[in-house]
A and B are shown apart, each in its own frame.
Chain A
Amino acid sequence: MESESNKILNAFTQSEYKYGFITDIETDMAPEGLNEDIIRFISEKKQEPAFLLEFRLKSYRYWLTMKEPKWANIHYPKIDFQDIIYYAAPGKKKIPGSLDEVDPELLDTFNKLGISLNEQKKLTGVAVDAVMDSVSVKTTFSETLLKLGIIFCSFSEAVKNHPDLIKQYMGTVVPYTDNYFATLNSAVFTDGSFCYIPKGVRCPVELSTYFRINAANTGQFERTLIIAEEGAYVSYMEGCTAPQRDTNQLHAAIVEIIALKDAEVKYATVQNWYPGNKKGEGGIYNFVTKRGICKGNNSRISWTQVETGSAITWKYPSCILLGDNSVGEFYSVAVANNFQQADTGTKMQHLGKNTRSTIISKGISGGNGNNSYRGLVRIAKNAVNSRNYSQCDSLLLGNKCGAHTFPYIQVENKSSIVEHEATTSKISEDQLFYCQQRGIDMESAIGLIVNGYAKEVLNKLPMEFAMEAQKLLSVSLEGSVG
């Protein structure tokens, strides 16, 4: 069996990253490095109001006093923050009003990624805000959405057109002092998405953003802000692919979600940034701070993520359950193959009464991959009658990979209940043989079994994302069984 396993392992690990192409368009860039002048440059380029520049500078000055965190179960060479370009915009500066005005190369890139910006998307009910490097290129359906009072645009546009909302909410869930990478983001963020659903409105389409890292050595510092007013509902999807690079690229995003009374926000991500080659070289460093607050009573936030990419993922989408009866959910599939390292999980902070949270985490490790789940469930003294259910499963594909679970549980009252379950399993030879005996080859069999294992989470994704995620899982798991 060993030789067969090795053969498969080799075949899988040698499969190249399928989205590894680079778009050749002129780029308007800031010089390398980080200092107050660079921050002023970014702010000026983006014609930002004074309060934002101040926010950036305040963050930068605070960042200078901070140390890079060392506590996650991941290892990577030291990042030289002076060796990064903090701003790059596609050459054509004007924001286009129609597809005709969009750089054909850029369109081609989107086509290669399978993103269609044209009317076809309307049929599938998806509005796309495509972010390429730092400037939002094209937003569809904003007009339709605007009629409902929904604002869905790039962060920069929101800064220009809705500065009051930005001022009111930005940094309220993830304060600029939050952590090393969040503080850095607060200083140098370039663009991202903004979404506002007014009182009582249910957003009729899935809102979707595709991110893509393009210009070489460009740090990506997106910032996304989602606000659901009283009784509002939105389902938001983010998807990412990055072209192949030799040098590691830093990615440090912030996502903030605010759900007011009776509001519901569903946030889904499928992330398949370049994970590095089979020797563990290159790939994206992904250090993200995602947090939502269920501010009003009966509000609800759910995070669903499928993480197949990046060399290093450090990510804990979290919920602050402040309102009474509010609900936080976290559904995650994280893959670590080849030399990928993933340290992900969630934090559920129960502050309101009768708050509930659910955590379903499915880790998959193959090759030399290392997958860690790190979760905090804290039920505060006043959060009486609260409940948490956590289930953390690990699937190992091979003998050189690892899975680790670090659950931290703090319950500060007696009426609340926390349940935690954890399992570790392997794909068995019997399962593979059974599939193969039915005519399904080893690769497809692994894809099938892994998708079955992750089904509980995949089912939480919007339909068209679920299909993409299934394909991605099979592709990125061209992993290892032994």
Chain B
Amino acid sequence: MLLSIKNLHASINGKEILKGIDLEVNYGEVHAIMGPNGTGKSTLAAVIAGRDLFEVTEGEVKYKDKDLLKVPVEERAREGIFLGFQYPVEIPGVSITNFLRTALNELRKYRGLDPMSAVEFLKLMEEKKKLVEIQSNLTNRSVNEGFSGGEKKKNEIFQMAMLDPVLAILDETDSGLDIDALRIVAKGVNHLRRKDNAFLIITHYQRLLEYIIPDYVHVLFEGKIVKSGGKELAIELEEKGYDWLKNT
């Protein structure tokens, strides 16, 4: 078991957002989480990543069979948890190259490896840039500064490819993307999909799941997972709309 969430409750400023989540993710699996806006999808992702803005009031989260909730944010990342942000933040003056090199070397240090040489690093970047079809000069620009919506999302996938996580959580990476960009994002994910990692794909639409075939689909509604199933659940949901959930 890679990730095991039991009866997770989380709140912000005393307002409960997650109201008892149960979720199990095994190595090699792709899980999709769907649900209407404001239902707690990003909150769930943030809690797994360790954002202390949210207070966990009840329940447990185990990652690689260890209690995850006490682990600091950067250590979760070094243990292989990656969050592709719904709204990636701008960091003026810090180039993607510099940012990723810092990040990658932190991961390597944690794993007892020497920092990657500049040449090796640049090679790796070239390879991954091709994968996500980003312009080669994008990496010289400051992280997300002045990026278009599509560039920001591709940059998240690019970072994921560079850092090669064990558990990748993609929070609405598909929102606002045109069909070409969507295809590229899906290609990135499918390329990285292996027996020894897993994906949690948060999406509002069924569309992305035509390109990334999930093993499981969960529907999050008002802080709870109200339905789980196979990939056909996504299609059913798309057809019937989220209103259908209110009656289940």
Contacts and interface: CB of A to CB of B under 8 A. Distances in A.
Contacts of B103: 435, 438-440
Interface residues of B, number: 32
B102 to A, nearest CB: 6
Give the residue among A433, A437, A444 with the most B Cβ atoms within 10 A: A437
B142 interface: yes
A438 B84 CA distance: 10
Interface string B73-116: 11011100011010011111110001110110011001000000
Contacts of B99: 435, 438, 448
Contact of B89 (A434, A451, A452): A434
A454 interface: yes
B49 interface: yes
Nearest to A449: B91
A449 B50 CA distance: 21
A437 B91 contact: no
A452 B142 contact: yes
B196 interface: no
Nearest to A436: B73
A455 interface: yes
A451 B102 CA distance: 13
Nearest to A425: B92
A453 B73 contact: no
B53 interface: yes
Given A438-B99, A455-B94, 16 more contacts: A1-B53, A435-B103, A436-B50, A436-B73, A437-B49, A437-B50, A437-B82, A439-B103, A439-B106, A440-B103, A441-B74, A442-B74, A444-B102, A444-B106, A448-B99, A449-B91
A24 interface: no
A429 B53 contact: yes
Interface string A417-458: 000000000001111011111111110100011011111100
Contacts of A438: 77, 99-100, 103, 106, 159, 163
Contacts, number: 76
Nearest to B100: A438
Contact of A451 (B73, B88, B94, B107): B94
B112 to A, nearest CB: 14
Interface in B38-92: 49-53, 72-74, 76-78, 82-83, 85, 88-92
A452 B53 contact: no
Given A438-B163, A440-B103, A428 B78 contact: no
Interface of B: 49-53, 72-74, 76-78, 82-83, 85, 88-94, 98-100, 102-103, 106-107, 110, 142, 159, 163
A448 B102 CA distance: 9
Contacts of A433: 51, 73
A449 B99 CA distance: 10
A-B residue pairs, 7 tightest by C-beta: A452-B93, A452-B94, A438-B103, A439-B77, A455-B93, A436-B73, A439-B106
A37 interface: no
A442 B73 CA distance: 10
Nearest to A429: B53
Contacts of A449: 91, 94
7 contacts: A4-B52, A434-B89, A434-B91, A435-B99, A438-B100, A440-B74, A453-B92
Contact of A439 (B51, B89, B163): B163
A438 B89 CA distance: 13
A185 to B, nearest CB: 36
A431 B142 contact: no
A211 to B, nearest CB: 29
Contacts of A430: 89
B106 A437 contact: no
A439 B103 CA distance: 6
Give the residue among A429, A439, A448 with the most B Cβ atoms within 10 A: A439
A427 to B, nearest CB: 10
Contact of B107 (A431, A439, A448): A439
A440 B106 contact: yes
Contacts of A435: 91, 99, 103
A445 B160 CA distance: 19
A453 B73 CA distance: 24
Contacts of A448: 91, 94, 98-99, 102
B93 A439 contact: no
B93 A456 contact: yes
Nearest to A459: B93
A22 to B, nearest CB: 34
Contacts of B77: 436-439
Contacts of B82: 437
A451 B93 CA distance: 7
A182 B52 CA distance: 52
A208 to B, nearest CB: 26
Nearest to B87: A430
A455 to B, nearest CB: 4
A453 B83 CA distance: 25
A452 B145 CA distance: 12
Give the residue among B53, B72, B93 with the most A Cβ atoms within 10 A: B93
A438 B181 CA distance: 23
Give the residue among B50, B51, B74, B163 with the most A Cβ atoms within 10 A: B74
Contacts of B50: 436-437
A169 to B, nearest CB: 39
Give the residue among A435, A454, A455 with the most B Cβ atoms within 10 A: A435
Contacts of A452: 91-94, 142
B53 A439 contact: no
Contacts of A456: 93
A440 B102 contact: yes
